[in-house]
Every structure is written in structure tokens, then in C-alpha cells.
Amino acid sequence: MQQCNEFEYFLTRSRYQESFMKIIGVHMDRCTGCKTCELYCGAERGSEGKTLLKAVQESPSPRPRVRVEGNHRVSFPLQCRHCAQAPCLDACLTGALVRDAKSGLVILREDLCIGCWTCTAFCPYGVIAPSPERGIAVKCDRCLYMETPVCVDVCPTKAIEVIDLAECEAMIGEKRRNTAQAVADSAGEGLRLLDIRI
């Protein structure tokens, strides 16, 4: 799947997304790969003490629900996309993964998870992680109990933000029009982009 298709798949509207029109967006040009989001996510979501100081002293180490991928040139945080057609939901053998009716998010019910990790194999983004120490899978729930996800709050460069889905779609449309116009302009004189909106 190409990057554009993945992004379009991520933005595909569904009946679940109608009530939950916010997504976590990443500005890849702002991400420095510092992993602050990972550290605070692990402390908030995976530790008993809920602070960095207590989290680093725990054994086993708390497992974050977000992970930073990349290298020194390009890096970006990855977390659950809460797919409209989530393969992990169908793959879960015990029904531990459920779609929250109010938020539209894919939530892990830890009390039902048996640690088979089938969901980890079916996640197209590789963002559901096994936690062998706890015998369950772990995944992002967008800090559902908090006003804003902790990764968004702590990012020092504001590379991670909660954005409105409609705004995101409009922004993508504008980028496509600008790119198409740039291609038409570079192709030579006389070519013009015809913008047809239905």
C-alpha cells in the first residue's frame, strides 16, 4: 500500500467516525525523535506510579502505547489509528478488543485479553504490542479518560496534535491542488489545472 492510500484508508469515514471526528495528527517535519511522547506515555499508561521518576524504577519497565520510528533524518510517532475497518477487532479471539460506541475508538479490555497476541499480527500499522510481562496486548486508547492524550500534551515541538477530521481532509485537498498546480506549472506554458468540485 502506498503512503497516500494508507492515509486515505485512515481517513475513510465510517458510521463510527461520525460521532468521533477528531484524530491524532503528526507533523513529521517537527518531530525530532526525542521520544518524550514514549516516556510520558509509558509513565501515564503503563506504570503504577504515573510519574517518570516512579516509572523508571519499576520492573518490568512500563510499556508505552506510542512508539517513535525513524532515524536521525526523519522520525515520527506511531499509535493506534482506530481504523474504520479494524482488522484487530475481527482477529481478537476473546472479544477483548471492542469499538467504544461513544468515542468510536478501538479499546482493549484488559480483563478479557488472554495474551494470544493475534491482534498484533493483524494490525496493519504494527502498533499493538505484546506485553509478555503482563500477559496481555497493549495499545493506544488516546488516553480516553483524559481531556487530551499525554503524547500531545508533552511533545516539546508540538509535532503531535489532535485535529478535526474535516479540517484534515480540507488540508489534504488543498495540498493536492497545490501539488497538481505545481506539476502543471512545471510542465510548460499553456497548461492549467482545471479544478472541478462536485
CATH number of the domain to which 26 belongs? 3.30.70.20
| Domains identified in the chain, total number | 1
Model confidence over 152-198: pLDDT tens digits? Answer: 999 999 999 998 888 878 888 888 888 887 877 776 665 555 555 55
Cα–Cα distance, 21 to 103 (Å, whole number): 9
What gap in Å lies between CA 2 and CA 177, rounded to an integer?
Answer: 19
Cβ 86 vs Cβ 106: under 8 Å: yes
Mean predicted confidence (pLDDT) in 112-126: 96
User: Is 170 within the bounds of a domain?
Assistant: no
The pLDDT score that the predictor gives to residue 193 is: 54
Return d(Cα 182, Cα 185) in angstroms, integer.
Answer: 5
- The pLDDT value recorded for residue 40 is 95
**194 is a domain residue:** no
* Domain assignment of residue 177, yes or no: no
Confidence band for 18, pLDDT divided at 50, 70 and 90 = very low
> Residue 10: its pLDDT value, please?
39
Nearest to 160 by CA among 57, 79, 100, 84: 79
Instruction: Give the chain's mean pLDDT.
Output: 84
Task: Please tell me the pTM assigned to this model.
Answer: 0.75
Averaged pLDDT, 116-127: 95
Residue 38, helix vs strand vs coil: helix
Q: In angstroms, rounded to a whole number, what is the distance separating the alpha carbons of residues 142 and 54? A: 22
